[in-house]
Amino acid sequence: MIIFIIVIQQGERKIPIQYAKQIRGRRVYGGRGTYIPIKVNQSGVIPVIFASSLLAFPATIAQFIQVSWVQKLASIIGPPAARGEIKPWYLTLYALLILGFTYFYAAIAFNPEDMADNFRKYGGFIPGIRPGKSTVNYLKNILNRVNLPGAIFLAIVALLPTALWAFFNAPFQFGGTSILIAVGVALEFMKQLEAQ
């Protein structure tokens, strides 16, 4: 599972960027090519944290308010309380919330309109794509396609420990979020070491 997490965390889609050449005096500036890396797991663990917080909210309210429908809602969509307890509504809602929050957070973190505007300001363009609205649409399309595997990955990693605990009565000491954070910190530490 850790290798799977490392592969997805390191995965990225590289979008090539070209910058127009500018001649000032006898010097030529620009004209170089670079790329924008769009990570498969653009949003990190934030969607998992949001989804688990939202699902835990009814249970928290149910502890303070003794209303029958709140108690019932908390028991249906709350996380399993005992080993071997299977809650299909919880698993389904958790996965759907993770998928939704992944797209929501990635749209906030990576803004294609701002990116296309910055390209225009600095003379950059994506080869084969017209600047402006076409660039925005292209970046949105790429972001949506890259986010789907990332969202599915987050849902699998977050649900796997819960599913193992519920379906197979297997003791699992770490949650998916803990493993994601630990691997992310280790990868970042390795990048810092390589940079020095």
Report the DSSP pairing between strands 33-39 and 12-19: antiparallel
Domains of the chain, each with CATH number or no CATH: 2-195 (1.10.3370.10)
The per-residue pLDDT for 152 is 94
The per-residue pLDDT for 172 is 64
Q: Greatest CA separation found in the chain?
A: 80
Task: Please report the beta strands in 2-161, taking only residues with DSSP state E, as ranges in sequence order.
Answer: 12-19, 21-24, 27-30, 33-39, 124-125
Residues 6+ apart with CB under 8 A from 116: 131, 132, 135, 136, 139
The per-residue pLDDT for 79 is 74
CB 48 within 8 A of CB 154: yes
- Cβ density class 138-150: b for 16+ within 10 Å, e for less: bbbebbeebbeeb
Report which of 53, 50, 42, 165 is spatially closest to residue 108, judged by C-alpha positions. 42
Report which of 57, 133, 131 is spatially closest to residue 93, judged by C-alpha positions. 57
The per-residue pLDDT for 48 is 92
Over the chain (196 residues), what is each successive 10-residue block's mean pLDDT? 82 87 67 82 90 86 83 78 73 93 90 89 87 91 92 91 75 75 87 86
Residues 6+ apart with CB under 8 A from 76: 87, 89, 90
* In the block, residue with structure tokens 């009814």: 58
CB 154 within 8 A of CB 101: no
The per-residue pLDDT for 121 is 86
